[in-house]
């Protein structure tokens, strides 16, 4: 992978837009109008932005999507919809493996606990948030003050508008914006291809290009038991993206680390990323072996295994950059150069001190990292039942408190989403729960040591396997009616239940909360320091930059364009013909085997139809399912991956990084010629069913 010292320098200074013209995950409230006009001659107007914004959808299970018809049709990736697909699949009806199509409205299957959000407005509340934190406050005092005002803003907005209201931290504390969303919870499945068509090439082709995936899943949004009629949806382009064309990506990138300081990057390199890798690899091996025992085991673990494999590859790419001395020395040089720029400026002394505070906080966080991840992040308790038990326990403790003093997930503004997840009727399998809980307890013993008092308290004199079995088989929190009763009854009812899984959560809750307080307090110190650095950065360089990703709606842009790799030109587009060639090269063996209908209907397919394509738009995890649109605001494709060069996108953007999309023409050809669902194809092209 090429080293990008100019990029690194620019990213450290917050000058990403000059590093590469198409870099940036831009706020809809502050798009790079001048840059787009200068390079592409396109004028980004407010009506155009509003249309794209309100056509875009966030999947709270993790991912993005868009409205593509006036009758509530939403399209996302198959791997974004996988969680929903698996929850209503069964041994008899495996929609993940076999695919699904609702021939009529009555056949559309309601998702178990899926929530979609559509952004309605953005309001800058930075002044109010900062004013609520006393100038002399630091650490825990400042954190609690900021939590209180944030909860108040969210509640006021929710009560006034009826919209989900989230205060979002931007620029690591440099700004706070209030995002208001229309929330939908009646989501029904319309169409999904077989996973083998959606993820053709499997793990070997993941993050590679050329690709040949039909990574789509189609849902319909209902309200009051009727399909919604959205005011905004994307018109479908039948010809799709063209070589050299300007395209935009509107989606919800999850997280980037482009504004982190060198000590923060060193922490990622030395502590966090290696720990995450170890966890992902052991769980991947665990589920592969368990799934190999039976088809039903494999079905039950499909979603988790896909997630672990995908995440493991991402972290491998990140660690490669972090362990590259040229990359890290480039970051250090850029940071030192910025500090020199600050030395003689009025705001310089305060900003330089802020760098030191971040370094000190990072040392504190590193000292508790292992226990924090085991207890508060739940790495030691990989169990849906434990998650429910902890939510019940903490709900009983938090709900009686004033809104502004609760842990943020229990605030009034988040109550509806929290309760939807808590009371989800998702399937829970005891054998899988015992498997994952026993393995995670074993991991805890390995990392904390068998003699650690917390380990001894959790195991209660038993082996990890026996303790996991005892807890899973003894708990009653899988009972939805009991969950509601305990939640409504509060702390007294929860204590009286004497449920073993709840009591396990209680036994470590004091330790976990203590660790969380340290994490949040040090996070507040870092936020304040980053805000100081941000002000200095703006003073030196101007404020026309973009913040790190926060799983909130962003706009990226670029050109449909191939690239050079190992001395060879990689074209921007693939075709359906290439899918069959790729399968033939591997003798139609897994994971390059084709579903039966693709073999049976081969002669009916237009082989020259574009299938996948790449663009220079800047994306990252969370953008999966984002619409790729042209300058006219038409749907020309759907993001589903990045190329191998993009694995280090967390830390910066380079000229060979590419966003991968499924082509709108390829989707139509598959629906009509392979799946024989003309009504769905017609709804996409006409905008109505």
User: Does residue 498 fall inside a structural domain?
Assistant: no
pLDDT value of position 1:
31
Q: How many Cβ atoms from other residues are within 10 Å of residue 435's Cβ?
A: 22
SS3 230: coil
Check residue 629 and report its DSSP letter. Answer: E
**Computed from CA positions of residues 573, 577, 580, 583, in that sequence, does the dihedral angle turn out positive or negative?**
negative
In the chain, % of residues over pLDDT 90:
92
Angle at 90 between CA 87 and CA 93, to 5 degrees: 115
According to DSSP, the residues that pair with 175 across neighbouring strands are 170
Q: How confident is the model at residue 19 (pLDDT cuts 50, 70, 90)?
A: very low
Question: For residues 319 and 501, is the Cβ–Cβ distance under 8 A?
Answer: no
The confidence score (pLDDT) of residue 97 equals 96
Distances in whole angstroms, Cα of residue 118 to Cα of each of 103, 182, 252: 27, 5, 11
Q: Which residues of 471-490 are buried (b: 16+ CB within 10 A; e: fewer)?
A: bbeebebbeeebbeebbeee
| Percent of residues, the chain, with pLDDT higher than 70 | 96
Q: Is residue 408 part of a domain?
A: no
Does residue 444 lie in a domain region? no
Give a yes or no: residue 345 inside a domain: no
> Would you state the pLDDT for residue 346?
85
Q: Is 674 within the bounds of a domain?
A: yes
pLDDT of residue 13: 44
Task: Average the pLDDT over 92-121 and give the result.
Answer: 97
- pTM for this structure? 0.94
pLDDT at 542: 66
Choose among 423, 440, 432, 433: nearest CA to 378. Answer: 440
Backbone phi, then psi, for 580, in 5-degree steps? Answer: -70, -35
Q: Which of 4-18, 186-200, 245-259, 416-430 bottoms out in mean pLDDT, i.e. has the lowest?
A: 4-18
Rounded to the nearest angstrom, the gap between the alpha carbon of residue 352 and the centroid of all alpha carbons in its chain is 33
Q: What is the pLDDT of residue 16?
A: 38
Average pLDDT over residues 351-367: 96
State the CATH number of the domain containing residue 245: 2.40.10.120
SS3 187: strand
Give the separation between CA 287 and CA 300, rounded to whole angstroms: 10
Q: What's the whole-number mean pLDDT along residues 234-249?
A: 98
Q: Is residue 525 part of a domain?
A: no
- pLDDT surpasses 80 at 544: no
| Per-residue pLDDT at 10 exceeds 70 | no
HSE, side-chain direction, 13 A CA sphere, residue 361: 25
Rounded to whole angstroms, the Cα distance separating 65 from 120 reads 15
pLDDT at residue 21, rounded to an integer: 63
For the cut 50, the answer to whether the pLDDT of residue 191 exceeds it is yes
- pLDDT tens digit sequence for 363-389: 999 999 999 999 999 999 999 999 999
Confidence of residue 12 (pLDDT cuts 50, 70, 90): very low
> DSSP letter string over 481-514?
HHHHHHHHHHHHHHHHH--HHHHHHHHHHHHHHH
Of 155, 443, 41, residue with least CA distance to 277: 443
Per residue in 469-494, pLDDT (tens digit) is 999 999 999 999 999 999 999 999 99
Query: Count of residues for the chain?
Result: 689
Q: At what angle do helices 480-497 and 415-422 cross, to 10 degrees?
A: 100
* b/e map 115-125, b = 16+ CB within 10 Å: bbbbbbbbeeb
What CA–CA distance (Å, rounded) separates 340 from 348?
9
Average pLDDT of span 261-279: 96
Residue 587 within a domain: yes
Burial category of 40 from C-beta neighbours within 10 Å (exposed 0-12, middle 13-18, buried 19 and up): middle
Mean pLDDT calculated for residue range 230-243: 98
Q: Which of 94-108, 129-143, 333-347 has the highest mean pLDDT?
A: 94-108
pLDDT digits (tens, 9 = 90+) for 25-38: 999 999 999 999 99
CA distance 271 to 512: 19
What is the chain's mean pLDDT, rounded? 94
pLDDT value at residue 8? 35
What does the DSSP assignment read for 263-316?
Answer: HHHHHIIIIIHHHHHHHHHHHHHHHHHHHTT-HHHHHHTHHHHHHHHHHHHHHH
Structural domain that includes position 54: 5-115+185-253+549-686
Hey, what's the torsion of the CAs at 313, 316, 320, 323, to 10 degrees? 160
Mean pLDDT over 592-620 rounds to 98
- DSSP character string of 542-572: -S---PPP-SS-EEEEEEB--EEETTEEE-S
Question: 613: closest CA among 581, 632, 584, 640?
Answer: 640
Average pLDDT over residues 428-435: 98
Buried/exposed 644-666: b ≥16 CB within 10 Å, e otherwise: bbbbbbbbbbbbbbbbbbbbbbb
Distance between CA 526 and CA 457 in Å, rounded? 33
For residue 460, the model assigns a pLDDT of 98
Mean pLDDT of 51-64: 97
> Is the predicted pLDDT of residue 7 greater than 60, yes or no?
no
- Mapped onto helix, strand or coil, the DSSP state of residue 245 is coil
**Whether pLDDT at 558 is above 90:** yes
If one counts the domains in the chain, the total is 1
Per residue in 644-665, pLDDT tens? Answer: 999 989 999 999 999 999 999 9
Phi and psi angles of residue 9, each rounded to the nearest 5 degrees, phi first: -60, -45
Q: Tell me phi and psi for residue 556, to 5 degrees.
A: -115, 160
State how far the alpha carbon of 294 is from the alpha carbons of 287, 290, 562, in Å.
12, 8, 42
Beta strands (DSSP E) in 106-245 are: 109-110, 116-124, 164-170, 175-184, 186-192, 217-223, 226-227
Phi-psi region of 162 (alpha: psi -120 to 50; beta: other; left: phi over 0): left
Residue 644 within any structural domain of the chain: yes
């Amino acid at each position: 992978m090429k080293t990008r010292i100019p990029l690194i320098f620019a990213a450290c200074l917050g000058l990403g837009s000059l590093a590469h013209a198409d870099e940036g995950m831009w706020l809809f409230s502050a798009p790079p109008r001048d840059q787009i006009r200068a390079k592409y001659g396109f004028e980004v107007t407010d009506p155009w932005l509003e249309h794209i914004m309100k056509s875009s959808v966030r999947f709270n299970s993790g991912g993005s999507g868009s409205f593509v018809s006036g009758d509530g049709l939403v399209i996302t990736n198959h791997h974004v919809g996988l969680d929903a697909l698996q929850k209503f699949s069964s041994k008899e009806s495996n929609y993940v493996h076999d695919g699904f199509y609702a021939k009529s409205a009555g056949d559309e299957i309601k998702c178990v606990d899926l929530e979609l959000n559509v952004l309605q407005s953005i309001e800058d509340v930075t002044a109010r948030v900062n004013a609520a934190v006393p100038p002399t406050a630091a650490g825990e005092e400042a954190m609690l003050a900021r939590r209180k005002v944030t909860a108040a803003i969210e509640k006021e907005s929710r009560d006034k508008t009826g919209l989900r209201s989230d205060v979002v931290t931007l620029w690591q504390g440099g700004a706070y914006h209030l995002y208001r969303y229309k929330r939908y919870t009646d989501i029904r499945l319309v169409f999904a291809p077989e996973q083998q068509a959606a993820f053709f090439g499997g793990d070997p082709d993941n993050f590679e290009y050329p690709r040949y995936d039909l990574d789509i899943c189609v849902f319909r949004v209902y309200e009051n038991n009727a399909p919604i009629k959205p005011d905004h949806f994307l018109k479908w382009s039948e010809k799709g993206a063209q070589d050299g064309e300007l395209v935009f990506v509107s989606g919800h990138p999850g997280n980037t680390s482009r504004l982190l300081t060198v000590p923060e990057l060193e922490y990622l390199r030395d502590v966090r990323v290696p720990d995450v890798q170890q966890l992902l690899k052991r769980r991947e091996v665990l589920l592969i072996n368990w799934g190999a025992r039976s088809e039903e085991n494999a079905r039950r673990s499909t979603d988790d295994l896909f997630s672990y494999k995908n995440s493991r590859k991402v972290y491998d790419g990140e660690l490669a950059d972090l362990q590259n001395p040229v990359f890290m020395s480039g970051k250090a040089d850029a940071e030192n150069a910025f500090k020199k720029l600050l030395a003689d400026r009025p705001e310089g002394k305060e900003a330089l001190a802020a760098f030191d505070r971040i370094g000190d906080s990072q040392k504190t966080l590193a000292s508790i990292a292992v226990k924090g991840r085991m207890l508060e992040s739940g790495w030691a308790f990989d169990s849906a039942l434990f998650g429910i038990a902890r939510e019940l326990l903490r709900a009983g403790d938090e709900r009686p408190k004033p809104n502004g003093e609760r842990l943020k997930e229990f605030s009034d503004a988040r109550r509806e989403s929290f309760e939807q997840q808590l009371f989800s009727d998702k399937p829970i399998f005891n054998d899988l729960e015992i498997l994952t809980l026993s393995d995670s307890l074993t991991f805890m013993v390995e990392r904390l040591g068998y003699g650690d008092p917390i380990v001894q308290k959790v195991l209660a004199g038993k082996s990890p396997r026996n303790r996991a079995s005892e807890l899973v088989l003894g708990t009653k929190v899988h009972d939805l009616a009991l969950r509601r009763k305990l939640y409504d009854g509060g702390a007294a009812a929860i204590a009286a239940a004497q449920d073993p899984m709840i009591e396990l959560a209680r036994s470590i809750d004091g330790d976990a909360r203590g660790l969380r307080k340290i994490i949040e307090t040090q996070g507040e110190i870092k936020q304040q320091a980053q805000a100081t650095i941000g002000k200095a950065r703006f003073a030196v360089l101007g404020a026309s930059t973009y913040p790190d990703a926060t799983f909130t709606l962003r706009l990226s842009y670029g050109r449909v364009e191939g690239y050079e790799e190992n001395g060879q030109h990689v074209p921007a587009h693939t075709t359906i013909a290439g899918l069959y060639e790729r399968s033939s090269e591997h003798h139609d063996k897994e994971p390059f085997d084709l579903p039966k209908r693709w073999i049976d209907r081969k002669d009916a397919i237009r082989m020259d139809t574009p299938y996948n394509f790449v663009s220079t738009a800047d994306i990252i995890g969370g953008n999966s399912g984002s619409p790729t649109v042209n300058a006219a605001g038409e749907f020309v494709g759907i993001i589903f991956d990045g190329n191998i060069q993009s694995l280090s996108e967390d830390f910066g953007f380079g000229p060979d990084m590419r966003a991968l999309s499924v082509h709108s023409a390829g989707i139509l050809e598959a629906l009509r010629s392979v799946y024989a669902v003309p009504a769905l194809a017609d709804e996409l092209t006409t905008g109505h069913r």
